[in-house]
Amino acid sequence: MNPTSLNEQQHHILFDSNAVGEIVPQWFEIEYWQDLAQVTATGRGRGRAWFVESKGRSMVLRHYQRGGAMSGLLGDRYFWQGLENTRAWREWHLLATLWQQGLPVPQPLAAHVIHTGLFYRADLLTVKIPASRSLSDYLLERSLQPTDWQSIGQLLRRFHDAKIFHADLNAHNILMKDNLEFYLIDFDKGKIMAKTQNEAWKEANLQRLRRSLQKLSMIDNGFHYTDADWTSLLTGYAK
CATH number at 227 reads 1.10.510.10
Task: For 96-149, write each residue's pLDDT tens digit.
Answer: 999 999 999 999 999 999 999 999 999 999 999 999 999 999 999 999 999 999
Residues 140 and 107 grouped into a single domain: no
Residues 13 and 86 grouped into a single domain: yes
Could you confirm whether 186 is annotated as catalytic?
no
Task: Tell which residue, 184, 130, 177, has the closest CA to residue 162.
Answer: 184
Residues 93 and 191 grouped into a single domain: no
Task: Tell which residue, 205, 216, 210, has the closest CA to residue 229.
Answer: 210
Q: What is the mean pLDDT of the chain?
A: 92
User: Which of 127, 158, 182 is where one domain is finished?
Assistant: 127
Residues 117 and 146 grouped into a single domain: no
What pLDDT is attached to residue 229?
A: 98
- Tens-level pLDDT at each residue, the chain (239 residues): 999 999 999 999 999 999 998 899 999 998 888 877 678 877 654 556 899 988 788 999 999 988 766 666 788 999 999 999 999 999 999 999 999 999 999 999 999 999 999 999 999 999 999 999 999 999 999 999 999 999 999 999 999 999 999 999 999 999 999 899 999 999 999 999 998 889 999 999 999 999 999 999 999 999 999 999 999 999 999 98
- The count of structural domains within the chain is 2
- Cβ proximity of 135 and 210 under 8 Å: no
What pLDDT is attached to residue 47?
A: 54
Identify the domain containing residue 23 by its residue range. 3-127
Q: From residue 126, how far is each of 20, 45, 180, 191 by CA, in Å? A: 11, 19, 21, 18
Residues 211 and 105 grouped into a single domain: no
User: What DSSP string runs through the chain?
Assistant: --EEEEEETTEEEEEETTT-S---GGGG-HHHHHTTSEEEEES-GGG-EEEEEETTEEEEEEE----GGGHHHHTT-EE---GGGSHHHHHHHHHHHHHHTT-SSPPEEEEEEEEETTEEEEEEEEEPPTTEEEHHHHHTT-PPPHHHHHHHHHHHHHHHHTTEEPTT-SGGGEEEETT--EEE---TT-EEPPTTS-THHHHHHHHHHHHHHHHHHHH-TT----HHHHHHHHHHHH-
Cα–Cα distance for residue pair 112/32, rounded to 1 Å? 15
* pTM metric for this prediction: 0.93
User: Which of 94, 127, 160 is where one domain is finished?
Assistant: 127
Buried/exposed 45-78: b ≥16 CB within 10 Å, e otherwise: eebebbbbeeeeeebbbbbbbeeeeeeeeeebbb
- Cβ proximity of 126 and 175 under 8 Å: no
Q: Write down the catalytic residue from 16, 168, 186, 188.
A: 168
Residues 47 and 121 grouped into a single domain: yes
Residues 157 and 178 grouped into a single domain: yes
Residues 123 and 211 grouped into a single domain: no
Residues 105 and 44 grouped into a single domain: yes
Residues 224 and 186 grouped into a single domain: yes
Residues 17 and 95 grouped into a single domain: yes
What pLDDT is attached to residue 71?
A: 66
Cβ contacts of 149 within 8 Å, gap of 6 or more = 229, 230, 232, 233, 236
What pLDDT is attached to residue 41?
A: 72
Residues 205 and 182 grouped into a single domain: yes
- Cβ proximity of 149 and 49 under 8 Å: no
User: Which of 127, 160, 180 is where one domain is finished?
Assistant: 127
